[in-house]
Amino acid sequence: MAEQPKLNADPLAERAKNLAVALNEYSRAAYEALDVEDKELQEAYIKVNNAEKLVRESRLGFALGRCIPEHVKHWPSWITRDDFPKWVGFNGQNITAEKVERGSEYGLEKVSKISFEFNSTSYQLLLIDEGISRAPGDTYRFGKIQLIADNVKVANFGLMEDFSDEYSTWEFANVNALKVGNWMQDMLDIAAQIQKSDEHRRKAFTDNRIRAAAKEIDLE
C-alpha cells in the first residue's frame, strides 16, 4: 500500500489565521464607515453646550429657570385680586396675565402668558407646563419658558420639576434658543428684586409674630 503524503498543516493554519485577521479588520472598518463624521452636528453640540454653560454660570438659569417662573406662575389667577400689587416682587409696569390651554404633539399643555414693562422694555413671558412624564415611576414634570423682548424672541429654556419633593420648583434644564442682549441684565435685576422682596416678606411675617407673641407674654 502506497504511503499517503503528509499534509503540511502549518501553512494552512497560518493562511486561515491571516484570513481571519483580515476579515475582522474589514468588519471593523465597515462598521466605522457607517459612522460618518458630521462636522456640522459636532459644531451644533459645541454651540449648545457653550450656551448652556453661559446660562448656568451667569445665573440666568436660576433667574429664568426657577426664580421668575415660580414668582409669576399664579399670576393668571391672582391678577384680579385687589391685593395683587403686593405680590409683585419687582418693578414691573402694565402687567397682564392669563392662562390658556392648547394642544401639542405630547397632549394638552397649559400656557401662562405674562406681559409687563421693565426698564423701558416690553416683555412677554410664556410659561408652558407640558405635563408630567408618562414613564412608569417617573416623578418629573416638564415645561418651557420663552421670553420675548420688544417683539423679539430672545430665550427659550427647557424646564423640569421633580414633584416627588414636597417643596419642588421649576428648574432650568436646557437651552432651546438664546439671543444675547440687554434683556439678560434685566432678568438678573428682576430676580434680585424678587429675592429681596421675598426676604422682606419673610422678615415681616416673623416680626409680626414676635410682636404678637410679646404682647401675650408676662414674665413678671
Residue 13 domain flag: no
Instruction: For 12-30, write each residue's pLDDT tens digit.
Output: 677 766 777 777 777 777 7
Residue bearing the bigger pLDDT, 118 or 210? 118
In a domain, 192, yes or no: yes
Residue 105 lies in a domain: yes
Backbone angles phi and psi of 146, in degrees to 5: -120, 140
Cell readout for 88 is 409683585
Calpha distance 188→195 (Å, rounded): 11
Q: Judge whether 204 lies within some domain.
A: yes
pLDDT at position 125: 97
Residue 26 has what pLDDT? 73
Q: Within 10 A of 170 (CB to CB), how many other CB atoms are there?
A: 23
3-state secondary structure 103-151: EECCEEEEEEEEEEEECCEEEEEEEEEEEECCCCCCCEEEEEEEEEECC
Cell of 154: 430672545
pLDDT of residue 150: 97
pLDDT for 204 equals 80
Mean pLDDT of 24-39: 71
How many C-beta neighbours within 10 Å does residue 17 have? 10
pLDDT given for residue 7 in this prediction = 52
Q: Is the pLDDT of residue 113 over 60?
A: yes
Q: Per the domain annotation, does 176 fall within a domain?
A: yes
Whole-prediction pTM = 0.76
29-33, 69-73, 140-144: segment of lowest average pLDDT: 29-33
**Which position has the higher pLDDT, 196 or 37?**
196
The share of the chain scoring above pLDDT 90, in percent, equals 54
Residue 215 lies in a domain: no
DSSP string, 140-198: EEEEEEEEEETTEEEEEEEEEEETTSTT---EEEEEEEE--STHHHHHHHHHHHHHHHH
Instruction: List pLDDT tens digits, range 148-203.
Output: 999 999 999 999 988 777 778 899 999 999 999 999 999 999 999 999 988 888 88
Residue 31 lies in a domain: no
Domain that holds residue 59: 45-209
pLDDT for 40: 85
Partners of 140 in the beta sheet?
A: 162
**What average pLDDT does the segment 87-111 reach?**
88
Residues facing residue 171 across a β-bridge: 160
pLDDT band, residue 96 (cuts 50/70/90): very high
pLDDT of residue 34: 64
Residue 216 is assigned to a structural domain of this protein: no
> What is the identity of the amino acid at 45?
Y
Q: How many domains does the chain have?
A: 1
CA distance 39 to 173: 25
- Sheet containing strand 152-162, strands side by side: 93-104, 107-118, 121-132, 140-149, 152-162, 171-178
